[in-house]
Amino acid sequence: MSRHLTLLNAVKKLEMPSLGLGTYLMKGSEGRLAVDKALFYGYRHIDTARRYDNEDDVGDVVQAKVRHGALKRADLFITTKIPSVYFAPADVKASLEESLEALKTPYVDMLLLHYPWGNKNRGDGIHLPVNAQGERELENYDLNKTWTAMEKVVDSGKALAIGMSNFSIRLMEGIWQNARIKPANLQCECHVYLQQQNLLRYCKSRNMVMTAYAPFGAPGLPKRAPNEPFPLEDAIVKNVAKKHKRSAGQVLLRHMLQRNIVVIPKSSSEKRIRENIEVYNFELDESDMQNLNKLDRNLKLFPFEWAKRHPLYMPGEEF
C-alpha cells in the first residue's frame, strides 16, 4: 500500500499523502496541539479550510517546525478551501492570499472549492451569511468563471493543484468540459456506510483522486438522528478488527485506503492520532473487503439542508 497517490491532473508531478489530518472544528490550543502531534508521528498531509477559522493555528505549528529545521515545507502537503462567499472570480485570489498569510506559506499544495452552492458575499468577512429569518443567504455564481480564477492561482504558483469538495458528478463534469487545468481532487463525505461508488468511478475515469472526510462516520457530530448507527461500533467492523488485532478505526481507514481513497481522519487525541497512521503494516483480505463493502447503506451525515434552496442543488444527486 503506497503512502502517496499521484495527482495526474496537476500541472507538474505531485504526490498526495494517502492519509492526512482533518482539522474541522479544531482550533486554538486544541488544533495546534493536534497538528503538532500529527507531524511528530509522521503525518505530512494537513487538511484545513478558510471556513474552519484555524488556518492561523495550522500555520503557527508548520512555521515553527520549518524554522527549527524539523521539517521542510516541501515535505508537507497542505490543503485549504475557498468558501463559497468568495466564488466571484475577483474574490478567489483574495481569499487564497488571506489563507496563505494565515498559513504562513507561499503556496498550498491543494486548493478546493468548498462546496458548489454559492453564498452571498456581504463584504463583512462572514462565511455563513444568514438573513433575519435565519436562512442562509444564497448566491448563484458561474462556476466556470470561478474555475478560471482557480486556474490563474495555479499559474501564479500559489496553488500547485486544484479541485472541489462536495460536488456532484454533474457539476464536476460541467467544470471538466471547460477547464484548461483539470480538477485533480474531489473531497467528499465517504465512510463504510456511504461508500460513494459512483463518485469514485467518475473520479477514476477523470484521473482525479478522491479524498474521504468523516471516514469514521463523524462520531462527534452533535446532531445525529436517534438510533443512528456508528461505523466504529458495527459488529462486522469489530469482527474484522479482532481478526487483525487492530482497532475498528484502523480497519475503517484501511478499507478506504485499499479502495485508493485518501483519508483525512480528524482527532485531537494523541492516542488516536498515532493509531490512525499505523495502517500501512497490515492488509485486509478479499473476504474482509467484501464484508465491509456490504455495509454500504447510503447514510449521508452531511446533507447540507440549507443548500436545498439553491438552484444548483438537485434532490437525490450524490455528492
| Residues labelled as active-site residues | 52
HSE-up of residue 54 (Cα within 13 Å, Cβ side): 23
**Inter-residue contact 265 to 21 (CB < 8 Å):** yes
State the Cα–Cα distance between residues 285 and 282, nearest whole angstrom: 10
**Closest listed residue to residue 104, CA positions, set 57, 47, 159:** 57
Q: Which residue has the cell 485570489?
A: 93
Residues 6 or more apart whose Cβ sits within 8 Å of residue 275: 247, 249, 250
- Grid coordinates given for 2: 503506497
- Grid coordinates given for 71: 521539517
Q: Which contacts (CB < 8 Å, 24+ apart) does range 129-134 have? A: 129/85
Distances (CA, A) of 156 to 96, 163, 176, 241, 248: 12, 16, 21, 46, 43
